[in-house]
Amino acid sequence: MDKKSLMPFGRGAAPSRTHDEPFTSLRREMDQLFDSFTRGWGLPTLADESVLSPRVDVVETDAGLEFTAELPGIDPKEIELDIEDDILTLRAEHKVDREEKDDKRRYHLVERRSGTYMRRFALPFAPDRDKVAAEFDKGVLKVTVPRSPDQPKTSKRIEIRPAA
């Protein structure tokens, strides 16, 4: 094993001596360390903003399931929900265009970011597709997925026999 590859400053070189703030420099070196350590794992890096996974709370009730997803800054028109083969899919596009301009200071800044939120959930029961409901308020999506009335709610006790 090459010990130089484990050094936080990369390939055994001495730490860079810049005139940055000490915490900014430390942050940059830590980001480089984690990026180089996780390279090849197939994980998104800190610079990869196209992979977004919203935080979702799932609660099971007597009626079915309730999902609460955090989607800050998303336009409700950009959210797609569908159920196929008892799998609920949540997909949303996140696009941000920012432009700043100041003729007195002579600068012009244009930034664009985009990414896709996506989560899939295997439903543990057959849903009543006609009664699935969703509402979006202040960046929070609430989805209720009721159980199908056709699904039996019976239980069966299973006998445990001693091994032969």
What's the number of domains the chain is made of? 2
Residue 66 lies in a domain: yes
What is the residue whose two structure tokens read 């003729």?
Answer: 103
Q: Looking at the structure, do residues 95 and 18 belong to the same domain, yes or no?
A: no
- The predicted-structure confidence for 90-133, as pLDDT tens digits, reads as follows 988 877 777 787 777 777 777 777 778 888 899 988 899 899 99
pTM (global) more than 0.75: no
Q: Looking at the structure, do residues 58 and 111 belong to the same domain, yes or no?
A: yes
Q: Give me the amino acid identity at 64.
A: G
Query: Quick check: 111 and 140 in contact, CB under 8 A?
Result: no
Mean pLDDT estimate for the chain: 77
Write out the residue range of the structural domain in which residue 92 sits.
51-146
CA distances for 122 relative to 10, 30, 35, 86, 88, angstroms: 43, 37, 32, 6, 6
Q: Could you give the CA distance from residue 66 to residue 156 in angstroms, rounded to a whole number?
A: 26
